[in-house]
Structure 1
Amino acid sequence: MMKSKNSLIVPKNLELVYSGEDYFSRLEAIIRNSQFEIHMQMYLFENDTTGNRIITALKEAASRNVQIYVLLDGLGSLSFPSETIKEMRQSGINIRFFAPLFSTYTFYIGRRLHRKVIVTDAKTVLIGGINIADKYCGSATEAPWLDYAVQLNGEIAQPLQKLCADIYFKKRRLQNKKIKSSFPVQEDAMVRILQNDWLKGKNEICDAYIKSIRNAKKEIIIVGSYFLPGIRIIRALKKASKNKVKIKLILSGKSDLPLTRRATCFLYGKLLNYNIELYEWNQSILHGKVAVIDGNWTTIGSFNLNNLSSYGSLEMNVEINSALLSKMFQKQLIEIIAQCQNITLNSLKTKNNLFTKTINFLSYCITRIIEIIVTYTPYKRFNN
C-alpha cells in the first residue's frame, strides 16, 4: 500500500508516524517508558483489541505509580463501557469525559474534543489524527485507515502537558492561552502547535491553512478526509490556482460517512474548473488531515477542512517548517497519488448522471444544514 516508510523518519526530535502498527507500537512504547505523568486526550477510544492493548499498557504504567489522566470525548467515545472505566479507575487511572452528551448543565452539540494528543513526562508528544481503535491499526486482512501523526521530543512537550492538565482539571482561564512560540526541534525544523476552538477565540489552524495557501508559490498537496471547506479556504485555493500554483487534493474514495463523501463530490465540478487536481484514495478509508506546501511547510493533526473543525470542535495540529521533512513527506504523498483514481472533468461527466448529481446536491444541502445546527447551536446552561 505505502512504501518507504523508514525514509520519512527524521532523526532525533521529530518523526512522522503512520496509522497502523507504526503508530500503536510507538504509543505503547511511549506509555511503557513513562516515569511520572501521562496525559491522553482522544476523540474515539474503542474497547476492542487495539483499545485493550493500550489500556493494558496504561494499567502497567499506573502500577508503577505514573500519574495518568485520560480525557475522552463524550460523543466520540460514548460507547466506551462503564465497566472498563471502573476497572481503569480501580487501577489508578484518572479518566473523565469532555462534554458528556447527557448533561444537566450544558448543551452544545458541536463543541467536541476532536484532538488526538498524548504527552508523557513533559518530554514526549504524539499528535495527529489517529484514534485508538482496530480500524486505525489494521490487520492481516484489512489495511488501516490512512492517517498520520507526529512524534516530538524535547521542550515543546512542556507547555503541551500544562495545556492538557488545564483542560483535564477544567482550569478555564488557563486553558484559553495559546501556545505562541515556535520550537526548534532540530537544526532543520521549527515546530509550532496550532489550536482551533472557535468558541474560545482560537482559529490558529484555519488561519494557518489560509495564510499558507495564499502565500504558496509552486505546489499545494492536501489530504482531506471529510473535505467540505468554508468560503475562505475555497477562495484561497481559487486565488492560488490563478497564481499558477499546482494544487493536488487527495480525497476519500471510500468513507465511513457516505453522506459527507457525496457532499464533497458535489464540489468536484467547481474544484476542477479552478484547475485543481483531484485524486480519490480507494485502498482503505481515508482519515488523514495533512498538507504540504512548496516543500517547506507541513501541517499534520486532527483538523478537517470543514466547518465542524473550523467552528465547532477542539482541534490540534502541528505546523512544521522544515524543507527536509516536507520534501520527504511530499514524495510520499506523490506515491499515494500514484495509487489513487484521478478525477477529471471527462471522467466526472461519464460518472455523473442526473440521479447522481441530484443525490450529491441533496447530500451537500443536508450536510451543510447539519453543520449549521451543530456548530451554531447556542451554548445553553440549564442550571446556573
Structure 2
Amino acid sequence: MNVAVDHIATDQPPDDSKARDLDYGWQSGNRVELLENGEAYFPAVFEALRAAEREILLETFILFEDKVGFELHSILIEAAKRGVKVVVSLDGFGCGELSPGFLRELAEAGVMVQMFDPAPKTFGIRTNWFRRLHRKIVVVDARVAFIGGINFSADHLADFGPEAKQDYAVQVIGPAVADLHHFALAQSGRQVRSRRGWRRRQQRPSPWTNEPGDGLVRLIYRDNIQHRDDIEEAYIHALSQARQRVVIANAYFFPGYRLLREIRNAARRGVQVQLIMQGQPDVLLAKLAARMLYDYLLKDGVVIHEYCQRPLHGKVALVDDEWSTVGSSNLDPLSLALNLEANVLIRDRAFNQQLYERLEALAHNHCQTMPEKRKPRLWLWRLTVGFLVFHVMRHFPVLASWLPAHKPRLKPFETTPHDV
C-alpha cells in the first residue's frame, strides 16, 4: 500500500486569488494568555487538540521523535480517526530527521502531512538550509489558536537538562483566531473562503472560554513575496513611538541598521531600553554576532543582559505599558530576510504587564548585565561589517531562487512499507 505525503517546496502564495496578498488588521475582544516554556505550552495545546471536533491546522519548524513528538503523534492520529480534518505542515530542514514510519503512520490515519522544501542529504549533509518554514502555529476548530517560538520537541522542557530552551508562546481566543485560521489554511494550500463564517462560529460557546477578552490582536508575517519587511517594520514603528520602556528578548539578535538605530534613538530619548540576549547559546555564532553590536548600543544607554541559565530561544518584545509581540521571528538576517515567519502584535495592558514581570524576573535572577562603561573596541568597524553582512543576507532570497533546490514546486511523493 502506498501512502501519499504532500511535499510543499515553495514560499509562493496558494493559487486562490483571494489569498495572494493576505493582510490582517487589528481585531478586538480577544483573550491572550502567555505560555512560558513547554511546561505551559504543551499541556494547553494538547488539551485543545484532544477536544478538536472539526479541524486541526498545525505548522512547526521542528518536530522530533521524542516524548513530546510521540505524544503529539498519538493525539493527531486519534483526532484523524474520529473524523477531524488534520493538516500538518513541517519544514524540510527542521523535520528532516523524521523517520518514514513516523510520517507513514500519520498519513495512514488520515492526517494530511506536508513538507516545506524537502531535500535528500548530499554526502550525509542536509543542504536545504535557506528560506525555512519557521512559523509555529496551531489552530483548532477556528476557535483557539497558539503562536510563538516553541517547537514540538522535548528540549523545551526543563527536565531536558542544561540545554533546555527558554521560550514563549501565546494562546489566543477571540476574533483574531479567524485571521490565524485563514492564514494557516491559505499557507497550507487548502481552499480559502470568506472569514465571516469563521467569525460567526467563534461567537458560539467554546470549550476553552465563556468570557470575552479585552486584547487587540493583529497577525503579521513575512514571506519572500509581498510581506518581506512587515515584522521588521512593526518593530521599527513601535520603537519610534516608545516613551517609557522597551524590553526585547530575542534568541538571535543581529538586526539591520534601521532597527538598531530606533533602539539607540529610544535610549537617547530617555526610554528605558533593555535587551535580553543569549549568554549560553545553542549556536555560538549567534552570540558572537550579537556582541559585535554591543558597543554601539551600550554607549547610548541601552542595558544589555545575557541569559546564562540555559539557551534562550524566545522571540518576544514589549513597548511601554500596552504593546507586545510574540512569535517565531528572531531579529537576525535569517528571520528578517529569508525565513517564513509569523508574529502576533498585542495591545493589552494586563498581558504587557505580565510579560514585563516575567522578563524582569529573568533579567534580574538569571542574567549577566553587560557593563555600561565597556571600553569601545572598534565599534564602527563592527557595525560596518554587520551592515554589510545583513544586507547581503537580505537580498539572498533572489540569489537562492536561482538554485535548483529552491525553485518553487509543489509535488506529492509516496512512502512505501519497505521504507519503514
- CA distance in 2 between counterparts of 1:292 and 1:344 reads 23
- CA distance in 1 between counterparts of 2:41 and 2:132 reads 23
Query: Residue 58 of structure 2: SS of its match in structure 1?
Result: strand
Q: Deviations over 1:61-111 (max 9, x none)?
A: 1121111000001111111211211111111111010122359xxx98532
- CA distance in 2 between counterparts of 1:141 and 1:33 reads 31
Q: Give yes or no for contact 1:300–1:319 (8 Å, CA) kept in 2.
A: yes
Counting matched residue pairs gives 357
Q: Give yes or no for contact 1:264–1:364 (8 Å, CA) kept in 2.
A: no
Q: 2:207 aligns to what? A: none
Query: Residue 13 of structure 1: SS of its match in structure 2?
Result: strand
Q: 1:301 aligns to what? A: 327
Q: Deviations over 1:230-274 (max 9, x none)?
A: 111011112212211110000000111101211111211111112
Paired residue type of 1:377: L
Match of 2:259 among 225, 233, 252: 233
- CA distance in 1 between counterparts of 2:344 and 2:224 reads 18
- CA distance in 1 between counterparts of 2:247 and 2:111 reads 40
Q: 1:48 aligns to what? A: 66
Query: Residue 377 of structure 1: SS of its match in structure 2?
Result: helix
Paired residue type of 1:113: L
Greater length-normalized contact order (CA 8 Å, ≥ 6 residues apart):
2
- CA distance in 1 between counterparts of 2:359 and 2:30 reads 23
Q: 1:331 aligns to what? A: 357
- CA distance in 2 between counterparts of 1:246 and 1:102 reads 48
CA shift for structure 1 position 144: 3.5
- CA distance in 1 between counterparts of 2:87 and 2:130 reads 24
Q: 2:402 aligns to what? A: 380
CA shift for structure 1 position 158: 2.2
Consecutive unaligned residues in structure 1, runs of 5 or more: 1-10
Q: Deviations over 1:169-222 (max 9, x none)?
A: 277xx79x9xxx9x9994531111111114333432211100000110011000
- CA distance in 1 between counterparts of 2:182 and 2:53 reads 17
Q: 2:142 aligns to what? A: 122
Q: 1:252 aligns to what? A: 278
- CA distance in 2 between counterparts of 1:159 and 1:296 reads 21
Q: 1:66 aligns to what? A: 84
Q: How does 1:58-137 map to 2 (within 5 A)?
A: 58-101=76-119, 110-137=130-157
Q: Deviations over 1:108-151 (max 9, x none)?
A: 85321111000010101000000111111231755741111110
Q: Sort the Cα spacing of 1:323 and 1:372 in 2 relative to 1 into closer, same or farther, 3 A.
A: closer
Paired residue type of 1:291: A
Q: 1:146 aligns to what? A: 166
- CA distance in 1 between counterparts of 2:289 and 2:163 reads 25
Alignment pair present for 1:262 and 2:280: no
Q: How does 1:357-368 map to 2 (within 5 A)?
A: none
Q: Sort the Cα spacing of 1:373 and 1:30 in 2 relative to 1 into closer, same or farther, 3 A.
A: same
Paired residue type of 2:221: Q
Q: Percent identity?
A: 29
- CA distance in 2 between counterparts of 1:131 and 1:256 reads 15
CA shift for structure 1 position 369: 8.9
Alignment pair present for 1:39 and 2:51: no
Q: Give yes or no for contact 2:148–2:343 (8 Å, CA) kept in 1.
A: yes
Paired residue type of 1:342: T
Q: Sort the Cα spacing of 1:367 and 1:202 in 2 relative to 1 into closer, same or farther, 3 A.
A: closer
Q: 1:7 aligns to what? A: none
- CA distance in 2 between counterparts of 1:46 and 1:282 reads 25
Q: 1:343 aligns to what? A: 370
Q: 1:3 aligns to what? A: none
- CA distance in 1 between counterparts of 2:30 and 2:223 reads 31
Match of 2:242 among 216, 230, 234: 216
Consecutive unaligned residues in structure 2, runs of 5 or more: 1-28, 122-126, 204-210, 410-420
- CA distance in 1 between counterparts of 2:331 and 2:222 reads 12
Paired residue type of 1:223: A
Query: Residue 79 of structure 1: SS of its match in structure 2?
Result: coil
Q: 1:205 aligns to what? A: 231
Q: Give yes or no for contact 2:224–2:397 (8 Å, CA) kept in 1.
A: no
Alignment pair present for 1:271 and 2:293: no
CA shift for structure 1 position 373: 7.9
Q: Sort the Cα spacing of 1:191 and 1:369 in 2 relative to 1 into closer, same or farther, 3 A.
A: closer
CA shift for structure 1 position 367: 6.8
Q: Sort the Cα spacing of 1:364 and 1:213 in 2 relative to 1 into closer, same or farther, 3 A.
A: closer
CA shift for structure 1 position 324: 1.4
- CA distance in 1 between counterparts of 2:166 and 2:78 reads 29
- Give the TM-score of the pair, scaled to structure 2: 0.77
Match of 1:164 among 184, 193, 201: 184
Q: Give yes or no for contact 1:108–1:378 (8 Å, CA) kept in 2.
A: no
Q: Sort the Cα spacing of 1:256 and 1:364 in 2 relative to 1 into closer, same or farther, 3 A.
A: farther
